[in-house]
Amino acid sequence: MSVLQAINPNVRNMKPLEYSILARQASRINEELRQGVKKPYQEVLDVYSGDPHKGGVKPLSYVRQVLAACLYPQLVNSSKLPVDVKQTAQRLLGGCDGGSVGSYTATMGIPEIVHKVSEFITRRDAGVPSYPENICISPGSQWSLSNILHILLNAESSPRNGVLSPVPCHNTTPMSVTGLGAVVIPYYLSEEQGWELQVGELHRALESAKGVCKPVALYIINPGNPTGHVQSRKSMQEVIRFVSEKKLFLLADEVYQEYVFGEKSEFVSYKRVLSEMGPPFSDTVELASFHSVSKGLPGECGLRCGYVELVNMDPTVMKYIFTRFSIDTCTPVLGQIALDLMVDPPQPGDPSYPLYHMEKQNISNTLIDNAKRAVEVVNSLPGLCCQPLEGGTFAFPRVYLPPSFIQKAKEVGLEPDTFYCSRLLEEAGLLISPGFEYGQKEGTYHIRFCIMTSAETLEEVLRRLTCFHTQFMKDFS
């Protein structure tokens, strides 16, 4: 039997990302630029992913100093590092076998770091207790989510299992559901209401699954990706009542919790709301909550580390989860260290605190300014409309594409917003993602770009988008 014949049919059903089309195009353009081909730009500007360091945001000095000392312990004796950096590095190395970041760790993470995560969650949730035995450290939140789905979804179930998933939605989760042989049950966020989640739409989606699949879980992203919406307590309470009534597992993707900047918005975790609602909800609703170093303040996407906290799980199920998480031995140690530094940063009075606080405020202020600037510029352009941004690191404007352009896209075999992004890349050297990749209502088109960049990078993004779109509307209107 050939490899092609042996491929899992569920994997065959996974749709390739539109990114592959644009990435090949970007690679070709970069090669042409290297060869001296004249273009209206000197480099491709990539704001496709939510990688802040790629976008010009500087790494936190404290994080990099501790990482450096852990990698090269001789630096602990250096006078060039602050005292608290050296003390933190010594503490973290003390939790590593052999005092080395090159050693394996416990499967669920270095125990001292797991306890730090637990303490962080308890502080975040105003005293609602968090227990280390309910926390698993992993190589990123999507890795954790995929493994939880492995436990939840039975590939041999008849009818197939289903997961309610938002539209639009970060694309990797629906892909994981499909790859496990389950059904994605879409529920549509209300763009007209700022991408609000409406519980009536959850009921509609659940009704649509009758005769198709057996729904087992509800997936929520808060703050939203790609929408930038932040849920209110009232909305979260409605969701909890819904999953309780329908006996669904609640998957809460909360990786952008540190990036909430809407004037009337605040991040409150699902775990905290669940606890404050009291019995029977707080005792019975099963919940998995995800966070990561990539999308937290450090923005260390390449270090690959996150955690999942499990609430109200049956001890027998927890055993299966631990078994599943044990497959990959342990999470990269440098990622675990970055996670520790995210949940236990310098405090007032520590030598590193003044610089850390200044860098943190700079990142926060830049994101707030970038969000306002992006919405302002996008909404000034004809045929583009962006809802107010309350959190997260992306803008997700709607593009009203002319019929003649939609027809031309069909002729070249591309989705209309993918074709728009392809033209934008070719003519302006700007790499962004099409809304088709995240799901959208029939007949609507969107684009997504990262706003977690330096102010200078964002201004260049908006300048290129403005020049391209203005000419685009002249050509096709």
Q: Provide the residue ranges of all domains of the chain, joining segments of one domain with +.
A: 8-57+357-476, 104-343
CATH number of 104-343: 3.40.640.10
Question: Tokens 């990622």 appear where?
Answer: 335
The CA–CA distances, whole Å, from 167 to 193, 332, 371 equal: 14, 32, 22
Residues 204, 210, 215, 220: what is their CA dihedral angle, to the nearest 10 degrees? -20
Which residues is 186 bridged to in the sheet?
165
pLDDT at 426: 97
Tell how strand 45-46 and strand 430-431 pair up.
parallel
pLDDT at 20: 86
**Could you tell me the fold of the domain covering 8-57+357-476?**
Aspartate Aminotransferase, domain 1 (3.90.1150)
Question: What DSSP string runs through 294-355?
Answer: TTSTT--GGG--EEEEEES--HHHHHHHHHHHGGG----HHHHHHHHHHHS---TTSTTHHH
Taking a C-beta distance cutoff of 8 angstroms, is the pair 99, 295 a contact?
A: no
pLDDT at 19: 77
Q: Which two tokens stand for residue 168?
A: 């639009």
Rounded (5°) CA angle 378-19-391 = 45
Phi, psi for residue 156 in degrees, rounded to 5: -100, 5
Q: How many helices (H) and strands (E) does the chain have?
A: 18, 14
Q: Which two tokens stand for residue 18?
A: 């539109």
Residues 125, 131, 136, 137: what is their CA dihedral angle, to the nearest 10 degrees? 60
Which residues is 306 bridged to in the sheet?
138, 292
Per-residue pLDDT of the chain (477 residues; tens, 9 = 90+): 555 555 555 555 555 567 789 999 999 999 999 999 999 999 999 999 889 999 999 999 999 999 999 999 999 988 999 999 999 999 999 999 999 999 999 989 999 999 999 999 999 999 999 999 999 999 989 999 999 999 999 888 899 999 999 999 988 899 999 999 999 999 999 999 999 999 999 999 999 999 999 999 999 999 999 999 999 999 999 999 999 999 999 999 999 999 999 888 999 999 999 999 999 999 999 999 999 999 999 999 999 999 999 999 999 999 998 888 888 778 999 999 999 999 999 999 999 999 999 999 999 999 999 999 999 999 999 999 999 999 999 999 999 999 999 999 999 999 999 999 999 999 999 999 999 999 999 999 999 999 999 999 999 999 999 999 999 999 987
The CA–CA distances, whole Å, from 434 to 178, 193, 394, 396, 420 equal: 21, 21, 13, 9, 8
Which residues is 183 bridged to in the sheet?
162
Cα(55)–Cα(63) distance, integer angstroms: 18
